[in-house]
Structure 1
Amino acid sequence: MSTSHEPLWSIGELAERAGATVKTVRFYSDQGLLPEAARSSGGHRRYGPQSLERLKLIRSLRTFDLPLPEIRRVLEDEDAAGPALEHAVDSRLRELGSELTALRWREAALQLVRDCPPAQRADRLRLLGTLNTPPSTAPLARFWRAWLPPRMPRRATAAFLEVAVPEPPDAPHPSQALAFAQLHAMTTDPCPGSRQPQPEVHRVAGAGGAALLYAGLVEAFELAAPQVRRARDPRPGEALDAYVAAYASAYGSRDTPDFRRLLDARLTADPRLDRYWELTAAVLTPPGDSPQPTPGSADDWLRAALRRENATAA
């Protein structure tokens, strides 16, 4: 309530002093964000200087598109610049980050449609139209969960998905957006014939062996990644030893020269998801940069190292 010496203004006078419209002042007042100081004898609202400061704060918060519930929490906080305001600003910054990412993906998609040959535009539009903006990695994760051995422990599955599913960049080059759209199409294709079967060398391990296998492969891929990044020739070493050990532990075997020869033959005979890894590398690598290592390129390097070692031993 106002004191006897405090000036009181009508809703129109408050609006004029704040540079707002009467409609705006009435809306915030009706929402309970701008309490009146008193009522005139005729029942009209009267506002004091505190209402003017509060109205200015509300309008400042609205310029950042903060929703009314957030503004209410800020106003109810004893410290106007306290935790409620900090939380509201952080929340809005996260929202803006998502909005900007979505806009960048839409821009890249529009550039892809604009720059492709006219005869391809309809197909490209359909391809890009299947993506959310920003795109989700959930379809890729579902693809791998269906592809991996059944009943694999959740922790082992999560560890493999972390390296197998590429995160879409926040500011994609059109080529990266196209590669991700193609990955999305590949992993959501309803035609069973489009899916490559899981390698026999992985299936025979069983659920328990698969957990050991994929945990070991993740370690081997991480060890090989620096070699792949530096474009070094495949060679025996710690990465290859971890790679072979992953298969040996999965099969309950020992790492021997005979096992390495047998593993090389099995790996050569099994199918590969080469297209997936090519697209993954394109998603992760802007044009002009050196290709980023993927589990696919690391596996290529390790297989070549194994082949070279066996050839040398022979």
Structure 2
Amino acid sequence: MSPESHGLWSIGELAERAGVTVKTVRFYSDEGLLPEAGRSGGGHRRYGPEALERLQTIRSLRTLDLPVPAVARALDAKHSLEDVIDGQLSRVKAELTGLRWREVALTLLRDAPAEERAERLRLVGAMGPMPGTDAVARFWRRWLPPRMPGRLVSDILGQAVPEVPAEPTPAKVLAFARLHALVASPCGPRDHDRGQPAAHRGPGRPEVLYAGLREAYALAAVPLRHGALPGPGDALDCFVAAYAGAGGVRDTPDFRRRLGPVLAADPRIDRYWELAGDLMGPSVVTPGAAHDWLLAALRSDAAA
């Protein structure tokens, strides 16, 4: 009596009906994707008609380049096929972004003046095939005062760390490469200390300072977008109150007169904010731009 009279197929019959090789059926069976319906008296695998539909589904998913573990999750009733496909779609988009980045980086190198090509090659090569923002985030975590609340640090990073351009241009690739080189440059503990503003090194409350500065920068962004000249107002009051509160002192005219020179003498990371501004675009007011506007407002206020 043939296997088909029992409604079961041999591995060869299933392979023939599905249009695949016996090796393919055996592979998916060994991976647990294609359960057997039983075994013959001689120990050979037997499959039911439902195996054909399952094998066709497996082949369709593999045609979409889903790896075997993802196919297994898609076939598992505990997992949603939509979730698995969404995950694969995210990976494909990341791969396309990487390819687009490489294309623009190669264009940047090809079109560079001969005397700049070696430097650009070094900058682009240092980022790797698909750049990320990990080095920039590490820079800020080192630069910020220690023992800051985690949520505040995350908020600051969200404002200060530009995203990798999803639609890169040669200019943005070059700006990101220069930013990456800037934050990745090695520096010892002493160099790092010299790069800290005075407010970082004092006995005050840096969490109060940075929470206040975030609010002041947001307030200053409004007049900055409208091209207003630096001057008194809520943004400046909030800016000064952040420093006064962190130091445990009152906001007085004398404090404001002394604060301006102290902040003017602080180390600057203007190059960082210049490159970050190039990446974020003209519609975004960076904290660096807001800080400069508020310092100018403070000088104007003290002079008045």
TM-score class, shorter-chain normalisation, is 0.7 to 0.9
- Quick one: structure 1 residues 150 and 38, their matched pair in 2 at CA, closer, same or farther if it must change by over 3 Å? closer
Question: Aligned-pair RMSD on alpha carbons?
Answer: 2.8
Matched residue, 1:199: 197
Q: Is the 8 A contact 1:105 1:172 kept in 2?
A: yes
Picking from 145, 149, 156, the partner of 1:149 is: 145
Where does the alignment leave 5 or more consecutive residues of structure 2 unmatched?
none
Picking from 164, 183, 186, the partner of 2:182 is: 186
Tell me by how many angstroms 1:91 deviates: 1.9
Picking from 87, 93, 96, the partner of 1:97 is: 93
Matched residue, 1:24: 24
Q: Distance in 2 between matches of 1:85 and 1:236?
A: 58
- Quick one: structure 1 residues 204 and 62, their matched pair in 2 at CA, closer, same or farther if it must change by over 3 Å? closer
**Letter matched to residue 176 of structure 2:** F
Matched residue, 1:164: 160
Q: Is the 8 A contact 1:277 1:297 kept in 2?
A: yes
Q: Which piece of structure 1 moves more, 112-121 or 141-150?
A: 141-150
Tell me by how many angstroms 1:40 deviates: 5.7
Deviations 1:65-120 (A, max 9, x none): 2222232233342xxxx743233122212222322222222222222111111332
Give the 5 Å matches for 1:31-42. 31-37=31-37
Q: Is the 8 A contact 2:3 2:9 kept in 1?
A: no
Secondary structure of the 2:196 match is coil
Q: Distance in 2 between matches of 1:246 and 1:270?
A: 16
Q: Distance in 1 between matches of 2:201 and 2:206?
A: 9
Matched residue, 2:63: 63
Tell me by how many angstroms 1:12 deviates: 4.0
- Quick one: structure 1 residues 114 and 237, their matched pair in 2 at CA, closer, same or farther if it must change by over 3 Å? same
Q: Is the 8 A contact 1:205 1:250 kept in 2?
A: no
Secondary structure of the 1:130 match is helix
Matched residue, 1:223: 219
**Letter matched to residue 49 of structure 1:** P
Tell me by how many angstroms 1:49 deviates: 2.4
Q: Distance in 2 between matches of 1:38 and 1:138?
A: 52
Picking from 264, 267, 271, the partner of 2:267 is: 271
Identity over the aligned pairs, expressed in percent?
A: 57
Structure 2 residue 52 is the aligned partner of structure 1 residue 52: yes
Deviations 1:185-215 (A, max 9, x none): 1111125598662223x24543x42221111
Tell me by how many angstroms 1:276 deviates: 0.6
- Quick one: structure 1 residues 138 and 30, their matched pair in 2 at CA, closer, same or farther if it must change by over 3 Å? closer
Residues matched between the structures, number: 301
Q: Distance in 2 between matches of 1:264 and 1:61?
A: 64
Picking from 80, 87, 100, the partner of 1:84 is: 80
Tell me by how many angstroms 1:179 deviates: 1.2
TM-score by length of 1: 0.84
Tell me by how many angstroms 1:128 deviates: 0.9
Tell me by how many angstroms 1:223 deviates: 1.4
Matched residue, 1:254: 250
Q: Which piece of structure 1 moves more, 154-163 or 169-178?
A: 154-163
TM-score by length of 2: 0.86
Deviations 1:255-312 (A, max 9, x none): 2222222222222233311101001101112xxxx3521111011111122222333x
Structure 2 residue 292 is the aligned partner of structure 1 residue 304: no
